[in-house]
Amino acid sequence: MQHDYAIEQLLKDELNRQRHGLELIASENFTSLQVMQTMGSCFSNKYAEGYPGKRYYGGCEVVDKAETLAIERLKKLFGAEYANVQPHSGAQANAAVFLGVLKPGDPILGFDLSHGGHLSHGSPVNFSGKVYQANFYGVEEHSGLIDMDKVEQKAMEVKPKLIICGASAYSRDWDYQRFRSIADKVGALLLADIAHPAGLIATQLLNDPLPHCHIITSTTHKTLRGPRGGIIMMGKNFENPWGRTTKAGKPIMMSDILNSAVFPGMQGGPLEHIIAAKAVAFHEALQDDYKDYTQRVVKNAQAMVKALMEKGYKIISDGTDNHLMLIDLRNKGVTGKVAEQALVKAELTVNKNMVPFDDQSPMITSGIRIGTAAITTRGLDEKDCHQIVNWIDQVITNVENDTTINKVKAEINEFMQQYPLYPEL
Ligand SMILES: *Cc1c(COP(=O)(O)O)cnc(C)c1O
């Protein structure tokens, strides 16, 4: 077989990029070496349609053990009664839940995409917005916060079958209890999508959705620091609310509805190499030093917000409870797109992001989103966050000055040499 030098070289280039730059994209992180190596393992060769003990293929004894470990560890991590570790991604996990609990055309209510919600919660360009009748709640313009009375009003108006809480760019905690009382009032199921703050929830730094939300979905690759993938959980399993029964006349449990929605409803063969890597990540998240990590993530985010506000940056909701912040750049006279491009040139990797009530298009935007999950994994602390804000500010106030941008880049590359990434590779 001919060795592929082209991809081998690109892997080296990407590792160098990750080593030398400052990764501030809120949805990214660096997995442990074991998580990464498990993704690139012989489990990738195995077909295992079905679930542990009930597969459509032979030879699944070993992957059954790995998937069972992943499920048991995940249940322990969140105190969940039910877990499914097969969704290929966060969007797939949401799609499976929708498929399991909704009928085409059903009304749903989620967080406004232009306020920081996620595509898979009813965007017109996503299947969730094409198949279901999507409605949204958002934040208040003056506070950047969700007004729960308005959520209730909206829910009474649109009578959703499913209410979704959770977002991609909301820096505040969620009132799951109030969401549940609203869901109960209108007869909706409640889904919490904790893709972003999952690791902070697992370590009790944020409100726990499991006692209040019927179903929980998440990714495993953001604050949870595992492989790229999705999961579904329930705090408590329950009988389906539509009176569906088995042939023998027994009520069907939600665990069965969700399992069959994932497979065979949404997906074919599970990615057992990724599931095994999820098991490794859950094992890591169950250790004491993971809680120490998530605490440092939040401290770093708060230090970053404080330093940014001192330099006159407008942070949506004026603070953060989690690992991320959304910066409104309108008072700085640059768009999100221009800021992203200049910052990326300096190897400060961020993403442009719509801010609530944005007057720019999603391709331009007025804001950037910053997160501290990845830099905290690298070992950076609050003092370093002040330095990062100095660099961000130098770039944003000099977006057209390549000399300044290159000077910042050189300083960052030099600085990051103190924080080796995958030295074994
Ligand atoms: C990131 C994210 C997802 C989707 O994750 P993918 O793995 O990219 O499909 C879903 N929901 C929310 C709220 C997210 O932030």
* Of 224, 368, 355, 380, nearest in space to 301 by CA: 380
Task: Using DSSP, state whether 244 is helix, strand or coil.
Answer: coil
Distance between CA atoms of 145 and 148, rounded to whole angstroms? 9
Distance between CA atoms of 246 and 54, rounded to whole angstroms? 18
Q: Cα(first)–Cα(last) distance of the chain, in Å? A: 24
Are 314 and 325 contacting, i.e. CB atoms less than 8 angstroms apart?
no
Q: What is the DSSP string of 7-75?
A: HHHHHHHHHHHHHHSEE--TT-----HHHHHHHTSGGGG----EETTEESSS--HHHHHHHHHHHHHHH
Q: Catalytic: which of 47, 256, 299, 397?
A: 47
Distance between CA atoms of 291 and 331, rounded to whole angstroms? 37
Distance between CA atoms of 338 and 74, rounded to whole angstroms? 40
Q: Known catalytic residue: 347?
A: no
Q: Known catalytic residue: 228?
A: yes
Q: Report the nearest-CA residue for atom 5 of ligand 1.
A: 90
Which atom of ligand 1 is the closest one to the Cα of 193?
Answer: 13
Number of H helices, E strands in the chain: 15, 15
Which atom of ligand 1 is the closest one to the Cα of 166?
Answer: 13
Which atom of ligand 1 is the closest one to the Cα of 92?
Answer: 9
Quick check: CB of 323 below 6 Å from ligand 1? no
Which atom of ligand 1 is the closest one to the Cα of 89?
Answer: 7
What does the block give as tokens for 287? 């250790």
Quick check: CB of 195 below 6 Å from ligand 1? yes
Q: Known catalytic residue: 103?
A: no
Average pLDDT, 10 consecutive residues per value, the chain (425 residues): 96 97 98 98 98 97 98 98 98 98 98 94 96 98 97 98 97 98 98 98 98 98 98 98 95 98 98 98 98 98 98 97 98 97 97 96 96 98 98 97 98 97 96
Q: What is the pLDDT of residue 1?
A: 85
Residues in contact with 369: Cβ distance below 8 Å, sequence separation at least 6, in sequence order = 25, 26, 169, 324, 325, 326, 327, 350, 351, 352, 353
Q: What is the pLDDT of residue 352?
A: 96
Are 146 and 139 contacting, i.e. CB atoms less than 8 angstroms apart?
yes
Q: What is the pLDDT of residue 331?
A: 96
Q: At what angle do helices 336-345 and 382-396 cross, to 10 degrees?
A: 110
Quick check: CB of 91 below 6 Å from ligand 1? yes
Q: What is the DSSP string of 322-371?
A: SSEEEEE-GGGT--HHHHHHHHHHTTEE-EEE--TT-SS-TTT-SEEEEE
Q: Report the nearest-CA residue for atom 10 of ligand 1.
A: 90
Quick check: CB of 90 below 6 Å from ligand 1? yes
Distance 3 CA to ligand 1 centre (A): 34
Quick check: CB of 353 below 6 Å from ligand 1? no
